[in-house]
Structure 1
């Protein structure tokens, strides 16, 4: 009996040309390097028969609407070459983000509300392969000083075949090493103010719904509300008054950049950010403000822009 080991796992992801049709990702071209990975091969609902019988006991259930989920983190780094899509770009596209490549310059990602793409996923756990089809998802970002910044992606897909299959040989050179978040590598400003910042989070807020109908099954992206938060040093009100901005419902620009070397620069931009109710906190006996953020669109599908250059 062959033993299987948790350490020996592989993930492949490839965009689909036709929704739900296996794009057949390979280890040579479509390997995904992730950390903190969680794979659920059987999510869904359970229907009970609830039969009336003259005795007690579990009657069992029927599994319906079964799908799978894959979640994991990817380091925030470029491709190494301006104008070349990062290896994690395919995950952004699966999360209702449009990819626009300008050769030798940059690659931009902005949210979309129609014609969302999908991906095929292979998760191999030391010799047992699970396939997800028509997968779509959502993502969050966490950037904290003295840490590696990471996107966390959650993909939901229709179940494909489960089979014994050898672990693929992976080509992972496209994944570049991220630099840590610090003063030398990272900048951040909110409503034009660039104060000391302890942490930034973004959540694209995609609502993903498994849709199981007669004649049709799909994983649908049905809504999006992007939010985030910034933990900033609580400076004097004469420097910046977050409470007044919050009460007034002011909209302002958010600008962040991570990385300084061409080919490994990632920029985050929001042009109309509203600040929610500020809260007080402390870190190492210093007062800070936690600022909830709401990214609002201006003309539509423009509340957020991610640029890799």
Structure 2
């Protein structure tokens, strides 16, 4: 019988020891997601390149193999202020630290050292792929009339798949119903102290994720990050804000976007030092829009972006 691509689910659990499977379960570690894109056997081969007295190919020998998995998660809170959202383990495995203030908020900021890892189980209609030692990167996207999402890409150690039935009990109750991005649900955003009607907002953490294969050890490492972003908003007059001078001077300023209005389901994405570049004009419904790219720069270190859930 053919396998059905939609009959799939992802489980993820933080590892206590790097690369050691903590055994995620459907009841406690299910990830409510969409847009699953698996590459479960991403391999490098070495060509024997033999010389023989006739034409023909040589065998390819497996040199390195890893697993890669991409998927989207809706950007929501936990439902209660000061309680970490269900997607927290994923964000921590993308080099973020988690600070919980009870009854108030949960703040995620980048880290450089001691980056957590997760084990991911990807079930595809009775076929189980296990990925251990996973670390990754994430981007955030928001636009009007759309559901704000986090786009994750994880790399992990490869394990040969097995015939294993999907979990009979899967609990997604920790994931909240999202709010569509709109004037009502996305009340505040600003760039360098200015605001205007906005049509696109995105941030890419852009971690450098490296799979290292050595003799005696293999691991997934995050070796650097260069967060970027982009914003598209209605073009204003020079008197209101001279964006062109701001770009020419290389000025930096804060950028912030708040989505959600009810405590427990408010998410704020902010950065203290955003440099603007690559301005371009867009025509949206006959209105002139300005689109700019952003480079998010650390202020004191490990603070170039923060995700606050409150």
Common topology (TM > 0.5): yes
Contact in 2 for aligned 1:255/1:270 (Cα 8 Å): yes
Match of 1:79 in 2: 78
Distance 1:239 1:159 in 2: 54
| CA deviation string 1:1-25 (max 9, x = no partner) | x432222111100000110011110
Matches within 5 A, 1:30-109: 30-109=29-108
Q: CA deviation at 1:177?
A: 0.8
| CA deviation string 1:120-161 (max 9, x = no partner) | 010011111010010000001110011111000000000124
Contact in 2 for aligned 1:94/1:116 (Cα 8 Å): yes
Distance 2:7 2:282 in 1: 42
Match of 2:180 in 1: 180
Distance 2:12 2:160 in 1: 15
| CA deviation string 1:3-54 (max 9, x = no partner) | 3222211110000011001111000100011101101111021210000011
Match of 1:235 in 2: 236
| CA deviation string 1:53-99 (max 9, x = no partner) | 11112223112210001101000110100111111111101100001
Distance 1:232 1:54 in 2: 66
Distance 2:138 2:198 in 1: 22
Look up the SS of the partner of 2:31 in the other structure. Answer: coil
Distance 1:9 1:277 in 2: 40
Contact in 2 for aligned 1:243/1:277 (Cα 8 Å): no
Matches within 5 A, 1:154-233: 154-168=153-167, 169-186=169-186, 187-233=188-234
Distance 2:30 2:63 in 1: 31
Distance 2:7 2:27 in 1: 17
Across the aligned residues of Structure 1 and Structure 2, the Cα RMSD in angstroms comes to 0.9
Gaps spanning 5+ residues in structure 1: where? none
Distance 1:175 1:201 in 2: 22
Look up the SS of the partner of 2:248 in the other structure. Answer: helix
Distance 1:63 1:82 in 2: 49
Q: Which moved more, 1:278-287 or 1:78-87?
A: 278-287
Distance 2:67 2:278 in 1: 37
Q: Which moved more, 1:60-69 or 1:117-126?
A: 60-69
Provide the aligned length of Structure 1 versus Structure 2.
308
Contact in 2 for aligned 1:138/1:154 (Cα 8 Å): yes
Matches within 5 A, 1:209-288: 209-288=210-289
Matches within 5 A, 1:143-162: 143-162=142-161
Q: Which moved more, 1:160-169 or 1:12-21?
A: 160-169
Look up the SS of the partner of 1:278 in the other structure. Answer: strand
Contact in 2 for aligned 1:142/1:201 (Cα 8 Å): yes
Contact in 2 for aligned 1:122/1:131 (Cα 8 Å): yes
Contact in 1 for aligned 2:49/2:57 (Cα 8 Å): no
TM-score (norm 1): 0.98
Distance 1:277 1:9 in 2: 40
Q: CA deviation at 1:286?
A: 1.3
Distance 1:250 1:111 in 2: 23
